[in-house]
Amino acid sequence: MNVTVIGAGSFGTALSLVLSDNGHRVRMWSHLEEIASEINKHKENTVFLPEVPLPNSITATHLYEEAFEAAELVLTAVPTQVTREVWQNAKKHLPEKALVISATKGIEQGTHKLVSDILIDEMGENNKERLLFLSGPSFAKEVARKVPTLVTIAGYNKENIKEAQSIFRNHYFRAYGTNDVIGVELGGSLKNIIALACGISDGLGMGHNSRSALMTRGLAEIVRLGNAMGANPMTFMGLAGLGDLILTCTGDLSRNRSVGFQLGMGKKLDDILKNMRMVAEGVTTTESAYELSKIMKVEMPITEYAYEILYKNRSPADTMKEMMSRKMKFEDED
């Protein structure tokens, strides 16, 4: 099968390796010509996934027309905030019958739309059936090392979900299927906010008790927003919910946890982001989710406190103290 991967970041590269291992021909698209040239010349993505050799079945280009040539499957793995711009250009070259799988996790700023909404906006409602969404606990470096990894693929068409499952399946990568697109997308997006909060807690020198509490109450507010938006609550108990939440809040490879940790240590957000080449989706998702929670009238205190630290320059230490002084509640209250 001819596969196009839009986005030559760490996750796009790692998933390209999975698809290549499964016998598919992969052409990656990068917005940077130098990244594409390096992949072709040195068979390595030294910027986003260094020290991982790429096989000859993976090539790269910075041109849309070359990337989409004869594509039967398209995987999109660009940051949320540039997804709309990229697809405004990419859709012109999309083959008529190619499946499209998104591996992007976030909520668009300003519109508060999920990636599924962005792609439907750009591709049209008539293309909805061929859209799929991959999410779950899957650090790119570990996928590239062929560490056993389980994810979820959501979609609107059951047969297309099954096809995508079989395309990705091998001895180290396995995908479960679901029709709950909203739940899978929200789980993958909102866990980054909770990972930021856990990183802040760790950076402040809090312990395992604090991190566990943040993860648990964080999951509660993810479920609340999910319920308000029509997701299946059980999705948040699965790989795209609890599974990804655990990984991102505890794993040392988590970019969002790392940003939070540095905030907790007293660094300024601008300085942290200035030194990062890869995107920590949780930073922009926090703003979008905070605004969305107000629109939907859903209480999300951890998200609100994270927003105030990131965008209102509140002290992480003072914020943590205020969280502990909130009104007493029963655990099953909203």
Q: How far apart are CA 118 and CA 20, in angstroms?
A: 28
**Catalytic member of 191, 267, 297, 329:** 191
Judge whether 274 counts as a catalytic residue: no
Residues 6 or more apart whose Cβ sits within 8 Å of residue 195: 245, 248, 249, 254, 256, 257, 260, 282
Q: How far apart are CA 76 and CA 29, in angstroms?
A: 10
The residue among 334, 246, 285 whose CA lies nearest residue 108 is: 285
The residue among 58, 43, 300 whose CA lies nearest residue 186 is: 300
132 φ, ψ (degrees, to nearest 5): -135, 160
Give the position of tokens 């280009």. Answer: 61
Task: Count, in order, helices (H) and strands (E) of the chain.
Answer: 15, 8
Q: How far apart are CA 74 and CA 77, in angstroms?
A: 10
Q: How far apart are CA 259 and CA 273, in angstroms?
A: 8
Do residues 186 and 222 make contact, with C-beta atoms less than 8 angstroms apart? yes
Sign of the four-CA dihedral 87, 292, 258, 143: negative
Which amino acid, residue 253? L
Residues annotated catalytic, as ranges: 191
